[in-house]
């Protein structure tokens, strides 16, 4: 299992990786994709909207279950990754959860909110 140090993590198994300034990417962790199994569909209908921390920004559907995706911090959803959308390949989240398998690109409302998330070591302990 992978726990990249350049990400922040939530108890709900989402990760955030800041790219530049207040722009970041969000996805589900390696642990989460392993628990869900092969993803077959991802839905995000919040592009263009500001979503509060802990609110649902989308859903992921695996062969046996559907799970909500929770926004790690308050942010505006700028983009839904076309590579994993219904026109793409949702299983990229399984094979590359921290790379091509990112789910949304966001604009962070308050960068200080990142301080409330877990670092890689804390998240690793959380799932152990």
Domains of the chain, each with CATH number or no CATH: 8-110 (2.40.50.100)
**Which pLDDT tens digit goes with each residue over 34-67?**
999 999 999 999 999 999 999 999 999 999 899 9
Q: What is the mean pLDDT of the chain?
A: 97
What pLDDT, on a 0 to 100 scale, did the predictor assign at position 87? 85
What pLDDT, on a 0 to 100 scale, did the predictor assign at position 69? 98
Return the beta strands (E) in 71-121 as ranges.
75-80, 104-108
Read out DSSP for 6-36?
T-EE-TTSEEEEEEETTEEEEEE-HHHHHHH
In this structure, the strands spanning 23-28 and 104-108 are antiparallel
What pLDDT, on a 0 to 100 scale, did the predictor assign at position 127? 97
Average pLDDT over residues 16-45: 97
Residue 18's CB is within 10 A of a number of other CB atoms, namely 16
pTM attached to this predicted model = 0.96
Residue 105 corresponds to which tokens in the numbers above? 């690109």
């Amino acid at each position: 299992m992978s726990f990249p140090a350049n990400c922040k993590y939530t108890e709900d198994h989402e990760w955030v990786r800041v790219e530049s300034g207040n722009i970041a990417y969000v996805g589900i962790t390696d642990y989460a994709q392993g628990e869900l199994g092969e993803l077959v569909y991802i839905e995000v209908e919040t592009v263009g909207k500001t979503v509060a921390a802990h609110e649902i920004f989308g859903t992921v559907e695996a062969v046996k279950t559907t799970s909500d995706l929770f926004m790690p911090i308050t942010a505006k959803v700028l983009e839904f990754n076309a590579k994993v959308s219904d026109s793409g390949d949702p299983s990229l989240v399984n094979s590359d959860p921290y790379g091509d398998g990112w789910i949304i690109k966001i604009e962070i409302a308050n960068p200080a909110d990142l301080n409330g998330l877990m670092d890689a070591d804390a998240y690793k302990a959380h799932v152990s």
